[in-house]
């Protein structure tokens, strides 16, 4: 078995070593499977480990590489996929009891694309039931129980890509696929001390993925570095006629070979969080200083004010109620684990068409205003969250006190964003900083994250999980 130092290497390095035959994909896959089987259950990280399929894919990868058919940097590299992505022959539970036995006879486009890149699926990552589409009150809102944070198993990973966060953080896989409607990549990445990319809306096909909010759902990579996320994005991005929201090929594809730019104009947001914890504030300010020292031009910036979060929430509510109409009307929502999940669908059904249209019109205005901000900046930046990971028992509903205008606007307008680790609290919990870019400018957010990671080692820190 390969040792932990190898399992914590970034995707690019693993790919290089496989190609150089320092170890085989089979050896690497066996090592990640063994670690996943040992540590995965204690973190509630996986919904399903697909060992047999993984070994088949790994053997095929080794055979192809030996024959000189090298597919690229993901060839032979293992990964996990959130359990809302269809994988032929395996359960796709959407993290929810009503779908515990659900199977599809096809693969999601993302899975197909990763197959074509030669990546090796290790398993389906645990997730919050229905990706939080029916709301939830507790971290335990999942078919597989609360996902535990590798940095402190008494703390949560955040959701809804909870297993994806735990898996990458604990080196059960070098990267995982997550999804975000609002916060579900950025938050677990920040809580778990990993790097997570939310691509521009429409860049990555959602075909074969559970729908939560048709006009907000995005699929993206979670890994160790921005470079890893860029490599994975380049494999999974691209137009797909099977996804009605897919961007045209010229806008959807993400060729990644040239070096990322290092001269960046960054707007440091002064109104993203009202009262971030002092340790978060200090760590993110230090991060900005690092960027300034290495060529980035930093200027303070402000988000435009308006009812953008309410508009985003209205759209999530309406589209979620539509996406799960049969679950709501049949009463099977009662089978969800979370008490809030059992009733919120009924409430969301009551949103009027008038209010939904108003929210869409407000989105149009918000798109123009946020786009104008990017005339002055390549990216805007703020703490990923104003706090670090919360306890597993926290009542998420009653203890919410802060607004999230950047998350609201970023998701409402389909903007790309990335969260990278930038510190640890005194309780050894990860802190994240996020960079948000103009629509289609995923390259800029990756560049900012990459610049930061070239000059820091927060992304190399390992949690105490064993």
Pseudo-torsion of CA 86, 89, 92, 97, nearest 10°? 160
Which range in 1-9, 56-64, 356-364, 458-466 contacts another protein by CB under 8 A?
Answer: 356-364
Choice from 172, 351, 380, 444 touching another protein (CB under 8 A): 351
Q: Which of 52, 361, 372, 376 binds another protein (CB under 8 A)?
A: 361
Q: Which stretch binds another protein (CB under 8 A): 37-45, 83-91, 115-123, 360-368?
A: 360-368
Q: Map the footprint of another protein across residues 172-211, applying CB under 8 A.
A: 181-184, 186-187, 190-191, 201-202
Smaller CB separation from another protein, 91 or 313? 313
d(CA 178, CA 194): 12
Q: Which is nearer to another protein, 13 or 404 (CB)?
A: 404
Specify whether the CB–CB gap between 212 and 131 falls below 8 A: yes
* Interaction of residue 360 with another protein, rule CB under 8 A: yes
Determine if 299 is a binding residue for another protein (CB under 8 A): no
Q: What is the phi-psi region of residue 108: left when phi exceeds 0, alpha when psi lies from -120 to 50, beta otherwise?
A: beta
- Candidates 14, 152, 155; CA nearest to 79 is 14
Q: Is 305 exposed, middle or buried (0-12, 13-18, 19+ CB in 10 A)?
A: exposed
Count of residues making up the chain: 466
Assigned token pair, 298: 């930093």
Partners of 383 in beta bridges: 433
Cis peptide before 160 (omega within 30 of 0): yes
How many chain residues bind another protein (CB under 8 A)? 97
Give me 43's structure tokens.
């973190």
71's CB contacts (< 8 A; 6+ apart) are: 64, 116, 117, 118
Torsion of CA 121, 126, 132, 134, to 10 degrees: 110
Residue 130 tokens, joined? 């229905």
Q: Which of residues 413-432 bind another protein (CB under 8 A)?
A: 413-414, 425-427, 429
Active site (catalytic) residues: 82, 160, 184
Which DSSP state fits 428? Answer: S
Strand partners, 55: none
Sequential DSSP letters for 192-258: HT-EEEEPPTTSB--TTBPPS-TTT-EEEEEESSHHHHHHHHHHHBS--TTSTTPPPHHHH-----S
Using CB under 8 A, pick the residue from 3, 354, 375, 464 that binds another protein: 354
List 115, 322, 403, 462, residue binding another protein (CB under 8 A): 403
Helices 278-293, 442-454: inter-axial angle, 10-degree rounding? 90
Site string for another protein, 326-345 (x = CB under 8 A): -----x--x----xx-xxx-
Binding mask 76-115 for another protein (x = CB under 8 A): ----------------------------------------
Binders of another protein among 209-228, rule CB under 8 A? Answer: 214-215
CB of 394 to another protein, least distance (A): 4
Among 11, 65, 194, 311, binds another protein (CB under 8 A): 311
Strands, sheet with 195-198, edge to edge from the N-terminal-most edge strand: 46-49, 120-125, 78-82, 176-180, 218-223, 195-198, 417-424, 430-437, 379-383, 265-269, 297-301
- Is residue 365 near another protein by the rule CB under 8 A? yes
If the CB atoms of residues 107 and 390 are measured against another protein, the closer one turns out to be 390
**Scanning residues 138 to 157, which ones bind another protein (CB under 8 A)?**
154-156
Alpha carbons 180 and 370: distance in angstroms, whole number: 20
Nearest approach, Cβ of 364 to another protein (angstroms)?
3
Q: Output the smallest distance, CB 123 to another protein, in A.
A: 23
Minimal distance in Å, beta carbon 146 to another protein? 13
Least separation in angstroms between CB 243 and another protein: 9
Residue 118 as a binder of another protein (CB under 8 A): the answer is no
Contacts of another protein in 20-49 (CB under 8 A): none
Q: Does 284 bind another protein (CB under 8 A)?
A: no
Contact residue for another protein among 90, 94, 99, 136 (CB under 8 A):
136
Residue 295 or 331: which CB sits closer to another protein?
Answer: 331
Nearer to another protein, 183 or 199 (CB): 183
The one among 279, 285, 286, 441 contacting another protein by CB under 8 A: 279
- The residue within the footprint of another protein, chosen from 98, 174, 317, 416 (CB under 8 A), is 317
DSSP conformation letters of 116-163: HTT-EEEEEEP--GGGGTT--SSTT-STT-PPEETTEEEEE--SSSHH
Quick one: 171 or 186, whose CB is closer to another protein? 186
Q: How far is the CB of 405 from another protein (least distance, A)?
A: 9
For the CB of residue 87, give the shortest distance to another protein in the complex, in Å: 24
């Amino acid at each position: 078995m390969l040792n932990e130092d190898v399992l914590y290497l970034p995707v690019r390095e693993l790919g290089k070593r496989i190609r150089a035959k320092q170890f085989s994909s089979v050896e690497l896959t066996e090592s990640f499977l063994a670690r996943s089987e040992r540590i995965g259950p204690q973190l509630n990280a996986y919904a399903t480990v697909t060992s047999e399929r993984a070994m088949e894919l790994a053997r095929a990868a080794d055979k192809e590489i030996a024959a000189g058919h090298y597919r690229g940097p993901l060839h032979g590299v293992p990964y996990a996929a959130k359990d809302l992505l269809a994988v032929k022959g395996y359960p796709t539970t959407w993290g929810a009891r009503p779908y515990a036995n659900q199977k599809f006879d096809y693969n999601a486009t993302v899975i197909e694309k990763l197959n074509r890149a030669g990546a090796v699926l290790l398993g389906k990552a645990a997730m919050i039931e229905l990706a939080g589409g029916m709301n939830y009150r507790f971290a335990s809102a999942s078919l597989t129980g609360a996902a535990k944070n590798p940095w402190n198993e008494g703390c949560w990973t955040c959701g809804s890509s909870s297993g994806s966060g735990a898996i990458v953080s604990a080196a059960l896989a070098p990267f995982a696929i997550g999804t975000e409607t609002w916060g579900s990549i950025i938050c677990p990445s920040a809580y778990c001390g990993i790097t997570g990319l939310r691509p521009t809306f429409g860049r990555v096909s959602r075909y074969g993925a559970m729908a939560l909010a048709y006009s907000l759902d995005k699929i993206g990579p979670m890994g160790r570095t921005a470079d890893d996320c860029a490599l994975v994005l380049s494999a999974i991005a691209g137009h797909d006629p099977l996804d009605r929201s897919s961007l045209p090929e010229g806008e959807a594809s993400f060729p990644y070979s040239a070096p990322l730019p290092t001269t960046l104009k960054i707007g440091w947001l002064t109104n993203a969080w009202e009262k971030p914890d002092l340790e978060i504030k200090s760590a993110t300010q230090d991060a900005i200083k690092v960027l300034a020292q290495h060529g980035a031009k930093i200027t303070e910036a402000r988000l435009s004010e308006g009812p953008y979060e309410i508009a985003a929430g209205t759209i999530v509510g309406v589209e979620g109620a539509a996406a799960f109409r049969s679950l709501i009307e049949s009463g099977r929502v009662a089978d969800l684990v979370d008490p809030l999940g059992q009733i919120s669908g009924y409430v969301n059904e009551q949103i009027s068409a008038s209010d939904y249209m108003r929210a869409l019109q407000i989105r149009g205005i918000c798109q123009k205003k946020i786009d104008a901000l990017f005339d002055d900046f390549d990216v805007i930046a703020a703490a990923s969250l104003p706090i670090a990971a919360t306890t597993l028992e926290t009542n998420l509903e009653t203890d919410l006190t802060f607004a999230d205008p950047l998350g609201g606007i970023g998701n409402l307008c389909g903007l790309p964003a990335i969260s990278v680790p930038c510190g640890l609290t005194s309780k050894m919990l990860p802190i994240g900083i996020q960079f948000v870019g103009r629509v289609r400018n995923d390259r800029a957010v990756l560049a900012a994250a990459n610049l930061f990671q070239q000059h820091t080692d927060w992304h190399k820190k390992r949690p105490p999980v064993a």
